[in-house]
């Protein structure tokens, strides 16, 4: 029974992280671009994955500590997180109605590895949505997991993030034709929207347990 419960926690972390990361944005475009150019790919995907994991850990740990000091915040935070997830789900459905394509430019000069890492950090950390997704939203959901299983939630979330960045970076040449097709993103966004709404409902109902 404990194994089934831990697997459910792991799956929740993986599903939530995957749903949040599967969207067209500057970070994904940059990773794809580096993969197509085969330029410092390992450094770029490693920085992106480690940043995500660190921010998610800060979010889960920080929110859990706050809830420990102020237990009444738990339900309010769960409801707020559910509302945010529902809003993200609606946005995903709206994107599906007007799908775009993930297209990366491969021209321009080659950059040294330190310059590439600096650009990766700036693209990742200067985006306010990254904090909303990892620290606030994943933190809120992760902090609600049973005591002692929050690290399992983080493991699932971290694996999803790492697999995405490494797959996008090192599989860029194979994935680029797929990601350049709006239909593929329409199907993906519909799936993401349904997943987010399901997670939002689960989180909302859990707020009243």
Letter string b/e over residues 171-182, b meaning 16 or more CB atoms within 10 A of that residue's CB: ebeebbeebeee
Question: Would the pLDDT of 134 be above 70?
Answer: yes
For a pLDDT cut of 70, what percent of the chain falls above it?
A: 89
pTM comes to 0.82
pLDDT for residue 112 is more than 80 = yes
Q: How confident is the model at residue 67 (pLDDT cuts 50, 70, 90)?
A: low
pLDDT in tens, 165-188: 999 999 988 887 887 788 888 888
Phi first, then psi: what are they for 50, rounded to 5°? -65, -40
Kindly calculate the radius of gyration of the chain based on its CA atoms and give it in whole angstroms: 18
Q: What is the pLDDT of residues 9-41, one digit of tens each?
A: 999 999 999 988 887 778 888 898 898 888 899
**Nearest residue to 125 (alpha-carbon basis) of 55, 23, 60:** 55
């Amino acid at each position: 029974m404990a194994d089934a419960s831990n697997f459910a926690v792991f799956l929740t972390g993986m599903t939530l992280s995957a749903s949040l990361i599967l969207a067209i944005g500057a970070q994904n475009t940059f990773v794809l671009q580096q993969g197509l150019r085969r330029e410092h790919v390992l450094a770029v995907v490693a920085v992106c994955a480690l940043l995500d994991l660190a921010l998610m850990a800060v979010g889960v740990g920080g929110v859990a500590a706050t809830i420990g000091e102020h237990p009444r915040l738990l339900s309010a935070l769960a409801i707020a997180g559910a509302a945010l997830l529902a809003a993200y789900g609606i946005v995903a459905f709206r994107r599906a109605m007007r799908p775009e394509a993930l297209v990366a430019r491969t021209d321009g000069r080659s950059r040294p590895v330190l310059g590439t890492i600096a650009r990766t950090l700036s693209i990742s950390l200067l985006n306010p949505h990254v904090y909303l997704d990892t620290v606030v939203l994943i933190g809120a959901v992760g902090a609600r997991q049973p005591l002692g299983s929050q690290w399992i939630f983080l493991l699932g979330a971290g694996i999803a993030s790492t697999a995405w960045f490494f797959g996008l970076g090192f599989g860029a040449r194979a994935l680029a034709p797929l990601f350049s097709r709006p239909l593929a993103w329409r199907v993906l966004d519909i799936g993401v929207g349904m997943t987010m709404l399901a997670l939002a409902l689960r989180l909302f109902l859990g707020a009243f347990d």
